[in-house]
Amino acid sequence: MKRLITAGVALGLVVTLGACSNMITTPSEESRSAVAEWKGKSRVELANQMGQPKEAVPMTDTGGEMLYYSYEGHHYVFETDPQGNITSAVQTR
């Protein structure tokens, strides 16, 4: 039980820190709407503009991918569907 409590407290701290760091670096409304224009476009178009993602994780259940980008000083997360079309586009920093 002690282990569980310790792990829970540690996790709570990590989550709180994470949430705080996210709040500090929330991008502006303007840049969020700009990145949203990528929705519906192809991952190939994305690669043509932003190059290689820093991380690409295939999604076993959906058949799509999570693509993590750093581009021109900003950070983005894109999710694609099985056809390679972008279904969500978010600027994180």
Partner 1 sequence: MKRGKYRFLIAAFLGAMSLALGTSGTARAQSATPMLKLYVDPVTGQVFTRPGKGRSLLTEVPVTTLDANAIERRVEQKTQTQLDANKQQIQQLVQKNAELTQSNADLSRQVAEIKPAWRSYIDNFQDKFRIGTLVYADWRLYTHTGFQPQELTQIMNPGPQNNIFNSFDITRTYLNFYFFPTEGLTARITPNIYQQVGNGTNVTVGNNTQWNSNLNGNLGFRLKYAYLQYNKIFDWTRLEALKGNTITGGQQPNPLIAWEEDLWGFRYVTLVPWNYYSLSSTQVGVSFQGPIKFNERQYIDYDLGVYNNASFHATEQTNTAQYMNRISVYPLGAKWRFDGLGLTWFFDYGYTNAAPSTQGGAPFGPRAAQAHIMRQAFLTHYTAENWGVIFEYDWGHNAFTTGNAFSGAGPITTGPQSANPYFNFSQMSTAFLNNGRNPNNGYALMGHYHIPHTPFTAFGLWSLWHPNTDIQNNPLDFQRWVVGVQWQVNEYLRLAIDNQNVNYYHNQHDVSFAYVDSITPGIFKKPGAGQVVDAVPVDTHSIFLNLEFSY
Nearer to partner 1, 28 or 60 (CB): 60
The answer to whether residues 73 and 67 touch, using CB atoms and an 8 Å cutoff, is: no
Q: Does 8 bind partner 1 (CB under 8 A)?
A: yes
Question: Residue 52: which region, alpha, beta or left (left: phi > 0; alpha: psi -120 to 50)?
Answer: beta
Helices and strands counted in the chain (H then E): 3, 4
Q: Does 9 bind partner 1 (CB under 8 A)?
A: no
Which stretches of the chain bind partner 1, using CB under 8 A? 3-4, 7-8, 11, 14-15, 18-19, 21-22, 47, 52-63, 65-68, 75-77, 79, 82-84, 88, 90, 92-93
